[in-house]
């Protein structure tokens, strides 16, 4: 395999990211979990480097560097899983993408099973790692409709920050849209953050839809439909093709 135009070696986790196996951070876990081999030898320690002629396998399947990178926006309907496999057999968001896409795609961040809205799929591990890191401070905007009236206290406490089970939850912005509806902007986006805060106040979101990730908006894209990111959107995300980092 030719790793890059200079023939230089690269770290194994970087190779996995550029082969579309996972984001950089997720690739590190694949290695430490013992799922990666180099020339038939299991590698579990980070820092291994590979070069031209090395065979890298994930779960026994040979990998190669991606020649084409995909950037796809999906409007995920409720009751779809953002994962490559579900032991319960629930439908996968990936199944809504066209079968002719040969590249192995994974989502940048996730939406829980009952939530809907914007999710970005890619095989660009560098982009996934960068946008998924807390340092990116990537804003995520949601529309929420509750089963009952939302008290002002819920909004005030979520803005100021509230500890639930020793975890701080704090929204960047909250706009009231109606007695039962809000527009909420998060930065860190902890797991099921909005649902946990609503549950704390004995509220239930009937609808939780993500409508924006950073500069990318879902617009009028229908549920269950997808489209490729535009050149302008990729530029806003800082997407550019360069040699892999060593």
Q: Would you list the DSSP string of 114-130?
A: T-EEEEEEES-HHHHHH
112 assigned to active site: yes
Backbone angles phi, psi at 37, to 5 degrees: -125, 150
pTM over 0.85: no
Rounded CA-CA distance 50/56 in Å is 8
| pLDDT tens-digit profile, the chain (246 residues) | 444 444 568 889 888 887 878 777 788 999 999 999 999 999 999 989 998 889 999 999 898 887 788 899 999 999 999 988 889 999 999 999 998 888 888 888 889 999 999 999 998 877 887 887 777 788 999 999 999 999 999 999 999 999 999 999 999 999 999 999 999 999 976 889 999 999 999 999 999 999 999 999 999 999 999 999 998 998 888 775 443 333
Q: Would you list the DSSP string of 185-240?
A: EESS--TTHHHHHHHHTT--EEEEEEEEETTEE-TTPPTT-EEEPPHHHHHHTT--
Q: Which domains does the chain have, with CATH numbers?
A: 10-62 (3.10.290.10), 71-134+216-236 (3.30.70.580), 139-213 (3.30.70.1560)
Is 82:110 a contact under the CB 8 Å cutoff?
yes
Determine which one of 112, 156, 165, 166 is catalytic.
112
Let me know if 154 is exposed, middle or buried by CB neighbors in 10 A (0-12, 13-18, 19+): buried
Note the pLDDT tens digit of each residue in 54-66: 999 999 989 888 7
Note the pLDDT tens digit of each residue in 158-191: 999 999 999 999 999 999 999 999 999 999 768 8
Q: Strand (E) positions, 19-152? A: 36-38, 41-42, 49-50, 56-58, 61-62, 71-76, 106-108, 116-122, 140-146
- With CA atoms as reference, report the closest residue to 3 among 67, 60, 47, 46: 67
Backbone angles phi, psi at 42, to 5 degrees: -60, 135
With residue 182 as reference, give the H or E element that holds it: strand 181-186
pLDDT for 79 equals 96
Backbone angles phi, psi at 126, to 5 degrees: -65, -45
pLDDT for 6 equals 43
Tokens of 29: 């876990």
């Amino acid at each position: 395999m030719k790793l890059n135009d200079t023939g230089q070696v690269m770290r194994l986790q970087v190779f996995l990211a550029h082969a579309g196996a996972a984001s950089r951070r997720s690739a590190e876990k694949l290695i430490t979990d013992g799922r990666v081999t180099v020339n038939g030898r299991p590698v579990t320690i980070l820092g291994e480097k590979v070069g031209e002629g090395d065979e890298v396998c994930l779960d026994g399947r040979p990998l190669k560097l991606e020649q084409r990178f995909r950037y796809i926006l999906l409007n995920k309907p409720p009751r779809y899983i953002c994962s490559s496999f579900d032991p319960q057999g629930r439908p996968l968001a990936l199944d809504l993408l066209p079968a002719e896409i040969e590249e192995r795609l994974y989502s940048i961040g996730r939406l829980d099973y009952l939530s809907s809205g914007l999710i970005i799929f890619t095989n660009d591990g560098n982009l996934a790692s960068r946008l998924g890191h807390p340092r990116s401070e990537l804003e995520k905007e949601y529309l929420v409709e509750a089963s009952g009236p939302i008290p002002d206290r819920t909004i005030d406490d979520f803005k100021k920050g509230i500890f639930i089970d020793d975890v701080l939850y704090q929204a960047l912005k909250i706009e009231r849209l109606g007695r039962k509806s809000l527009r909420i902007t998060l930065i860190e986006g902890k797991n099921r953050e909005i649902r946990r805060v609503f549950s704390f106040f004995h509220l239930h979101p009937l609808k939780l839809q993500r409508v924006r990730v950073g500069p990318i908006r879902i617009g009028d894209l229908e549920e269950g439909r997808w489209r490729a990111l535009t050149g302008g959107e990729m530029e806003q995300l800082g997407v550019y093709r360069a040699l892999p980092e060593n």
